[in-house]
Amino acid sequence: MGNITFVEHDGTEHAVEIEPGKSLMDLALDNGIPGIDADCGGECACGTCHVIVEGNGVSITGSASDAELQMLDLTPERADSSRLACQIVISDAMDGMIARLPEFQM
C-alpha cells in the first residue's frame, strides 16, 4: 500500500495510507486532515475541498470536469493544478502524490 501526502498551508505534512475507490475528500475527512471543509458533502457544489495536486498527481488524477472548473473559478487561490478533492477517486497509482491545501477554503 502507498501513501498520499496532504500539505497544509503552513507546511505541516500528513502522510495518509491509500484507500482505493474512496474519494480524496473522504480520505482527508476520515483521517482528520485540517483545512478540508466539504460543506456540500462531495457534490461538486461548494468548492470547500479545494486541493492543489503536485508531483505525479497531475497526470494520474486526470482533468477536472466543466462543473468542477466552474466551482474552482470561484476561488481566488486557484492554481493550474487545482482540483476538488471530492472529484478525485483514489487508486493505487496515486502512491507518492502530494495534495497541497490552500490557505483558505472559499
Partner 1 sequence: MNIVNLVAKQSAAIVPMPLQVKAAHLLYKTKVKLGVYTEFPEFVEAPVPDVSTLAIEDIDVSNPFLFKQGCWEPYFKRLRDECPVHFQKNSLFGPFWSITRYEDVMFVDKNHELFSSEPFIVIGQAPKELSVEMFIAMDPPKHDVQRQAVQGVVAPQNLKEMEGLIRSRAQEVLDNLPLDKPFNWVDEVSVELTARMLATLLDFPYEERQKLVYWSDLAGGGAQSTGGSNDMDELFKGMGEMAKDFSLLWRKKEAETAAGKKPGFDLISMLQNNDATKNLINTPMEFLGNLALLIVGGNDTTRNSMSGGVLALNKFPDEFAKLKANPSLIPNMVSEIIRWQTPLAHMRRVATQDVEVNGQTIKKGDKVVMWYASANRDERAIDQPDQFIIDRKGARNHLSFGFGVHRCMGNRLAELQLRILWEELLARFDSIEVIGEPEYVQSNFVKGYSKMMVKLTAKQ
Which residues contribute to the site for partner 1 (CB under 8 A)? 37-41, 43-48, 67, 70-71, 73-74, 76-77, 103-106
Indicate if the alpha-carbon torsion angle 20, 49, 70, 53 is positive or negative: negative
Residue 5 C-alpha cell reads as 501526502
Q: To the nearest whole angstrom, how small is the minimum distance from the Cβ of residue 19 to partner 1?
A: 20
- Identify whether the C-beta of residue 103 lies closer than 8 Å to the C-beta of residue 79: no
The full DSSP string for 48-69 is TTEEEEETTHHHHS----HHHH
Q: For residue 103, count other CB atoms closer than 10 A to its CB.
A: 10
Q: To the nearest whole angstrom, how small is the minimum distance from the Cβ of residue 47 to partner 1?
A: 7
- Phi, psi (5° rounding) for residue 30? -65, -25
For partner 1, the closer CB: 46 or 52? 46
For partner 1, the closer CB: 63 or 70? 70
For partner 1, the closer CB: 15 or 67? 67
Q: To the nearest whole angstrom, how small is the minimum distance from the Cβ of residue 43 to partner 1?
A: 6
For partner 1, the closer CB: 38 or 97? 38
